[in-house]
Structure 1
Amino acid sequence: MVDVTVPQLLQQGVPMLKVSAKKQKRYVFKLDPDQGQIVWESKKLRIIPIENIKELREGADARYYREQFQLAAHFEDRWLTIVYVLDGGYKTLHLIAGTHDVFQMWDITLRRLYAIRQKLMSGLGDTDVRQAVWEKQFWRSAAPDTGADQKLDFDEVERLCRRMNINPSREDLWARFTEADSMNRGYLDFADFQRFVKALKARPEIESLYKRLSAGYGGLLTYDAFERFMRTSQMSSLSQGELQRVFLRYASKDVELSNSAASSPAQNSLELAVKSAAIVEEPVRSSPSWDFDMHPSPSSSHSSATLVASSSSQSSSAFSLKSDVMSIKGFTTFLLSADNSAFADQHGKIYHDMSRPLPEYFVSSSHNTYLVGHQLVGESTIEGYIRALLHSCRSVELDIYDGDVEPVVYHGRTLTTKVLLRDACAAINKYAFVASPYPIIISAEIHCSVPQQELIASIMHEEFGEALLSAPIDGRPKIDVLPSPEDLKGRILLKAKNLYVSDKDDLREKEISVDTESSSTETSASDMDLADEAKQEWRRAREAEAELIKDLKYEFKKARNTFGRVRPHRTELAPNMSPSPRSDARDLPPANQAPQKVKMSFALVVLLVYTVGVKCRGLNKKEVYAPEHMFSLSESTANRILKHSMMDLIKHNKTHLVRIYPKGTRIGSTNFEPHRYWSAGAQLVAINWQTLDLGYMINHAMFQRNGRAGYVLKPLALRTADKQLMSHRSRHCFEVTVISAQQLPRPKNLLGREALDRSILDPYVEVSLHVPDWTQAHNHIHSSELSQGRARTSQRSPASAETGTSPATTSARTVTVRTAVVRNNGFNPVWDQQLSIPFDLVGDMRDLVFVRFAVKQEGAIDEEPLAIYCASMGSLNMGYRHLPLHDAQLSQYLFSTLFVKLGIHDL
């Protein structure tokens, strides 16, 4: 075993130079393995919880920042950049160690601690390791200055209980304290503390379930009882042999940590975790190589069948199914394990055949990827590309303009900063295939002169090399059908508007003015004469203009304070600068002048192979698009098409790629709900990845599936020629029994520390279903169904799922129900309350219905939930499940879970 003890030098602290754009200053940085924190003292005590770290970069991987801060190259081998989330946003900490030896000590040790926390944050399981880490974390925090001989008296135990979100009476607490104090010494040492915690963490709700399951089997959970439970409650489809192996895994003798490992307070939790979990000790790098013949292995929960097949199984001959039983501890461990995961990853060819044409997949897509903040005054940086690509995003955006020397990327006609196109392409190339081997689609808006267009092509060839697609992969110039993600593994595709193709459509555009992308209008699917069509287009344009003005007033009112905070030299618009939030003013009509046609470089044209940007000329039978023709629709335009001709859009999307992007008035970078557009078959539904709101959460839940490959096969109804599937409508009811929660987190202050001054939690659970508006004829759940749902539980009236945007936002339907409140207990609250939510489906597209569980504090309506979990209903396993809980930035809490029973029945 390699020694992974955190060096005392790092625990005591070493001076390092903290670098920012404004200054460089030396601080003493400490690494606390038991609390799982990086700590330093500036004006205040600063901490970074290790589980909040998103990425570690060192040396050449962080060169972009060193060059940005204009620091010499000799600092590179001592440079460490930590990317983390705190107070709802991404932050970076740049450090320069005093010596290369100190840097290596920090880099290797921090990566190992990070790897352990990441492993524990990838679903559930590893219960013994979690217990060990949790015990050490709370033990050390109870009296951090007492050293190896730490003891807790009754008052310290009482304070610790409050920190653990539990508020028992003093009489009850004293009884528990004296029971744990086995030697009657008046204090608890670490072994006593473990007994005290074990009693606190008892699960009476699981004991009750265990007794019910074993009632007909002599009070013992035999294999027969376990099989019946798995088939009837858990809806397991495992084979008989697989089910037997699962049973034997948890019916075997319980594995405990050795006494020396479990009871020694001097040993840090890093050692416990490594010894208990056999975690790989290779330091985690930011850019691992990828074997393009392999799929990425999901780091979170797997389907039970996959786990059983991949896990080391015990020989059936070593145990007897008739004589062995599963103890209450074994059953509890099973319920918390990855073998009983709530999330069915559905990874593999049986669920996601990656050899179908590109239009048959949803593609994880980002909007204004270069921005990490506000649409008008935010910062443009390569960081947005790195974050998105490391989370399996497969389509990123570049808005490219002429630069002084080379092209630059920024949000045109705004006050956002600029980043060199070369730097953005270098970042894309470096991180493109770290998380997924499947193709990247670069959606580019090019506003450059022809000479700088030549530079764009040259830069992309230099940075992307052979990965850049510049000819059909099969060598045939005529494209009959688009290739598959499997065909395009490891390739980078450019999507931009081909002006030469657009020129051919000028006459048609002048006649009926239906440029969907720039004028926010659309053509009806019916064969009306041009005069009637022109009248309708004029009316719709006026309606769109009125809606846009309303949106703009609302958004600019919100942005007023933001502008006020900008430095004086950036607050004035240039004389010729329009206040339009979008560089090309897609949602605004041109200002009484004909747009000038800009010539396009042939060097760029040849890069447009399977993703040729064209203007949308409508979706009627008169218009024909080549398979490689791809158009973009603003959110506003897409909403109108969904209202008037949704089926035409669905038909088009079966053979062609379409991109949907947020409307320009979303100045604060808020998001729409993407499943509204997925339900029409749109593949590239681009969201603002810098804004962690409901839209981001739903997008994240969708692409957790298929091993986080960034491509998810669309439901059959959206890709088959069989129209009968789309005409099939069904009604169902989602039944949720919210049983209990375990170790809920306390609210944190702006420094990331627990708000100990806050009262004990009074938690409740809110369950929301987010359902697309399938068709205009099926927009709302029948009022009688909602009344029935409310009668069965304390349900709020169903509300539109607003995401903080303007009142004119059109959203999918959201139905929400909630539990009662449990008072004074955030440690192990028990609700045991059944909730029912009716919902409807079209074409059996359960994958496009999303379920959100939110644990909230009573009376804190305007605050973020304490913890959340969101998943596609199509990837939720039914039965008794523990849901891993996450914070608002979707980082999983190490110790918090929600125990539920899930079921669906037809209405």
Structure 2
Amino acid sequence: MTTEISFKEVIEAIAECAFKTSPYPILLSFENHVDSPKQQAKMAEYCKQIFGDGLLTEPLERNPLEPGVPLPSPMELKYKILVKNKKKSHKSADGSGKKKLAEQASNACSDSSSVFEPSSPGAGEADIESEEDDDDDDDDCKKSSMDEGTAGNEASATEEMSNLVNYIQPVKFESFETSKKRNKSYEMSSFVETKGLEQLTKSPVEFVEYNKMQLSRIYPKGTRVDSSNYMPQVFWNAGCQMVALNFQTIDFPMQLNMGMYEYNGKCGYRLKPEFMRRPDKHFDPFTETTVDGIVANTLSVKIISGQFLSDKKVGTYVEVDMFGLPVDTRRKAFKTKTSQGNAVNPVWEEEPIVFKKVVLPSLACLRISAYEEGGKFIGHRILPVSAIRPGFHYICLRNEKNVPLTLPAIFVYIEVKDYVPDTFADVIEALSNPIKYVNLMEQRSRQLAALTLEDEEEIKKEAEAGDAPSENNSEPRPTPAENGLNHASTLTPKPASQAVHSQPPPGSVKAPAKTAPAEDLILSVLTEVESQTTEK
């Protein structure tokens, strides 16, 4: 609730500040409780005079108000203001009389809000719009009426106000099947948060499909008398475009909203992921598996230290949270130890927190927040996961209103990788760092060689020990290693051709002065021998 303020002053303030920070279109949702037709005509006149050419009163040529025609993009509606207000029914003047006769002819039917398939777009539009006017009259649940607040008590729109409405025509939501049959992108429905959660729980895939073609608006329930907020992430996951919050309350849902829209310059718009826009793709916001065409991420965050977190001598600690799809959301996933009375430059030597599998990074946000040891909030920062870059970072903290703090900062090291199942981790590691992989293979080969070479040496020694006696028996040669004696006189003479190959001339071998051990047999054979001619 707010204090009284004139409608003209509100319109003037909007016109003055409309496109200061963003050129993209502004959507004004009027909750109109003005019963006087003259007053509504005056309101329409103020809008035309003050907004001027910025007020979009006619649809674009490329996007007429016809079934099957999509809405224009924000780029095509730059510097334009669109009005959402109840639209007057375009029935004939005697429509009310015919309605009474029809009611008398069908006394058995007590439900005057039945929906029939229209024979023409115009007739269907009139039926749906009349149901919107009687929105709250059909409610038979007091709790539902309390949740919806005062939105259903709006006055009927006059001709002047109806002429301001084009691309945002409010209709009462019946079902996703009905909306799909009508296929009118310029019709939008509003859901109180409780109704939105109900539809999301029952038909999550259909809700996402609905938001591909039409706009949906979610607003807080009327029982939030303290102007608190619901978690907008729930409806972002379903592709809802207008997730309305109580901006006067800077609670955590509002902080999450500000962090989400800060990523692209606070222009007020965020492009939905491609699979939530393409008609040939289907998405379940409650999925726990990898989305088709989307590579999941693995995020690792190591909190290293803090700088100037507080000017008081108190302990401090840091918490890390993740928000996104239900499978990605982890509240208070990590908390550092409390520093002992050091808030100027605390250091935390702890293991990093690893988010092993972030299924949908484009809808996920990372929150890093700092607190005093008593739980008092110091500052935080909300970062879209798709915007995080790996490496060392100084993260400057913000206060509750998302205003940058002068000194407080957190020094972190972040790793962002594509998610790889454990079964393929070794393969991906080898492809990403082939030099490291080759070095690892060489190291393993050396380790294996240390075992296999010992066996080979033993086999070689055994073979050499077995071959040495047979050579001495079959072909005796002078072996000075044996007892240091010269055996040239005991050798049998050989032919000249045979002497060339064996080369055992007596007296030419340099015998060692002392007796050599048995293991020097090979060395004695390989001693130098002087070359001799055939005659010798």
Q: Would you say same fold, with TM above 0.5? A: yes
Sort the Cα spacing of 1:675 and 1:581 in 2 relative to 1 into closer, same or farther, 3 A.
closer
1:451 has 2:38 as partner: yes
Deviations 1:187-231 (A, max 9, x none): xxxxxxxxxxxxxxxxxxxxxxxxxxxxxxxxxxxxxxxxxxxxx
TM-score by length of 1: 0.39
The SS at the match of 1:418 is coil
Give the aligned CA root-mean-square deviation in angstroms: 3.5
- Deviation of 1:677 (Å): 0.3
Task: Quote the residue 1:524 is aligned against.
Answer: none
- Deviation of 1:657 (Å): 1.0
Task: Quote the residue 1:487 is aligned against.
Answer: 76
1:853 has 2:368 as partner: yes
> Partners in 2 of 1:663 and 1:722 — Cα distance?
34
> Partners in 2 of 1:420 and 1:891 — Cα distance?
31
> Partners in 1 of 2:277 and 2:290 — Cα distance?
17
Larger Rg: 2
Task: Quote the residue 1:613 is aligned against.
Answer: 170
Task: Quote the residue 1:763 is aligned against.
Answer: 316
> Partners in 1 of 2:132 and 2:175 — Cα distance?
7
Deviations 1:370-425 (A, max 9, x none): xxxxx4xxxx3xxxxxxxxxxxxxxxxxxxxxxxxxxxxxxxxxxxx211000000
- Deviation of 1:628 (Å): 0.7
1:828 has 2:417 as partner: no
Name the aligned partner's letter for residue 39 of structure 2. Answer: Q
Name the aligned partner's letter for residue 885 of structure 1. Answer: L
- Deviation of 1:517 (Å): 11
Q: Counterparts in 2 of 1:263-274, with a 5 A limit? A: none
1:511 has 2:114 as partner: yes
1:691 has 2:256 as partner: no
> Partners in 2 of 1:822 and 1:721 — Cα distance?
52
Contact 2:24 2:79 in 1 (8 A): yes
Name the aligned partner's letter for residue 850 of structure 1. Answer: C
1:467 has 2:51 as partner: no
Contact 1:517 1:634 in 2 (8 A): no
Contact 2:255 2:400 in 1 (8 A): no
Name the aligned partner's letter for residue 5 of structure 2. Answer: V
Contact 2:205 2:283 in 1 (8 A): no
Q: Counterparts in 2 of 1:227-246, with a 5 A limit? A: none
> Partners in 2 of 1:497 and 1:833 — Cα distance?
58
- Deviation of 1:834 (Å): 2.7
Sort the Cα spacing of 1:893 and 1:598 in 2 relative to 1 into closer, same or farther, 3 A.
closer
> Partners in 1 of 2:270 and 2:39 — Cα distance?
36
Task: Quote the residue 1:425 is aligned against.
Answer: 11
Q: Counterparts in 2 of 1:107-506, with a 5 A limit? A: 375=1, 380=2, 417-449=3-35, 450-474=37-61, 477-479=64-66, 480-500=69-89
Deviations 1:801-823 (A, max 9, x none): xxxxxxxxxxx763521011111
Contact 2:297 2:361 in 1 (8 A): no
> Partners in 2 of 1:516 and 1:680 — Cα distance?
24
> Partners in 2 of 1:714 and 1:702 — Cα distance?
12
Deviations 1:304-336 (A, max 9, x none): xxxxxxxxxxxxxxxxxxxxxxxxxxxxxxxxx
Contact 1:767 1:816 in 2 (8 A): yes
> Partners in 2 of 1:501 and 1:877 — Cα distance?
55
Name the aligned partner's letter for residue 902 of structure 1. Answer: I
Report how many aligned residue pairs link the two structures.
Answer: 381
- Deviation of 1:761 (Å): 1.8
Sort the Cα spacing of 1:704 and 1:899 in 2 relative to 1 into closer, same or farther, 3 A.
same
Name the aligned partner's letter for residue 307 of structure 2. Answer: Q
Given candidates 607, 630, 633, the residue that maps to 2:191 is 633
Contact 1:672 1:695 in 2 (8 A): yes
Name the aligned partner's letter for residue 584 of structure 1. Answer: T
Sort the Cα spacing of 1:634 and 1:693 in 2 relative to 1 into closer, same or farther, 3 A.
same
The SS at the match of 2:74 is coil
Sort the Cα spacing of 1:657 and 1:725 in 2 relative to 1 into closer, same or farther, 3 A.
closer
Contact 1:650 1:681 in 2 (8 A): yes
The SS at the match of 2:84 is strand
Q: Counterparts in 2 of 1:724-763, with a 5 A limit? A: 729=290, 733-746=298-311, 760-763=313-316
Name the aligned partner's letter for residue 739 of structure 1. Answer: I
Q: Which runs of 5+ in 2 are unaligned?
A: 104-108, 117-127, 422-536
1:891 has 2:403 as partner: yes
> Partners in 2 of 1:447 and 1:724 — Cα distance?
40
Contact 1:516 1:617 in 2 (8 A): no
> Greater relative contact order (Cα 8 A, min sep 6): structure 1 or 2?
1
> Partners in 1 of 2:233 and 2:356 — Cα distance?
15
Q: Counterparts in 2 of 1:591-610, with a 5 A limit? A: 599-610=156-167
Name the aligned partner's letter for residue 511 of structure 1. Answer: S
> Partners in 2 of 1:472 and 1:734 — Cα distance?
45
Sort the Cα spacing of 1:853 and 1:611 in 2 relative to 1 into closer, same or farther, 3 A.
same
Give the percent of matched residue pairs that are identical in Structure 1 and Structure 2: 27
Name the aligned partner's letter for residue 304 of structure 2. Answer: I
> Partners in 1 of 2:383 and 2:389 — Cα distance?
10
The SS at the match of 2:370 is strand
> Partners in 2 of 1:497 and 1:689 — Cα distance?
24
- Deviation of 1:511 (Å): 3.2
- Deviation of 1:704 (Å): 1.0
> Partners in 2 of 1:516 and 1:823 — Cα distance?
61
Deviations 1:212-261 (A, max 9, x none): xxxxxxxxxxxxxxxxxxxxxxxxxxxxxxxxxxxxxxxxxxxxxxxxxx
> Partners in 1 of 2:383 and 2:133 — Cα distance?
32
- Deviation of 1:600 (Å): 2.5
Contact 1:517 1:632 in 2 (8 A): no
Name the aligned partner's letter for residue 366 of structure 2. Answer: V
> Partners in 2 of 1:518 and 1:732 — Cα distance?
48
Contact 2:149 2:222 in 1 (8 A): no
Contact 2:379 2:398 in 1 (8 A): yes
> Partners in 1 of 2:252 and 2:390 — Cα distance?
24
The SS at the match of 1:831 is coil
- Deviation of 1:708 (Å): 2.1
Q: Which runs of 4+ in 1 moved over 6 A?
A: 501-509, 512-520
